[in-house]
């Protein structure tokens, strides 16, 4: 929780699944109650990035995700 503008960049650790994916999307959803209304999402904002992920062969593949189609 914060009530003032950040004075530096923010960061967080996230777990990336152990899969191979040439164009996966990472989506960040941000709720901002004390902010102007976003007509497409009320007070929720979305930020996306396309990632290329290479599975670590020494670890099991994360079965929660489908295999990449070739």
Please write the tens of the pLDDT for every residue from 4-58: 778 999 888 999 999 999 999 999 888 777 777 767 767 788 889 999 999 999 9
Instruction: Give long-range contacts, CB 8 A cutoff, 24+ apart: 32-37.
Output: 34/3
- Look at 65 and 69; give whichever has higher pLDDT: 65
pLDDT at residue number 23: 93
Cα separation of 44 and 34, whole Å?
A: 11
pLDDT at residue number 32: 75
Position 1 confidence tier, pLDDT thresholds 50, 70, 90? low
Helices (H) and strands (E) in the chain, counts: 0, 2
Return the sign of the alpha-carbon dihedral for residues 13, 15, 48, 50: positive
Element (H, E) at 27: strand 21-31
């Amino acid at each position: 929780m914060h009530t003032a503008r950040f004075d530096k960049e923010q960061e967080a650790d996230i777990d990336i699944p152990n899969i191979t994916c040439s164009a996966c999307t990472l989506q960040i959803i941000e709720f901002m109650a004390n902010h102007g209304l976003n007509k497409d999402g009320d007070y929720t904002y979305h930020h996306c990035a396309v990632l290329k992920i290479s599975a670590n062969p020494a670890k099991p593949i994360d079965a929660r995700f489908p295999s990449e189609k070739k």
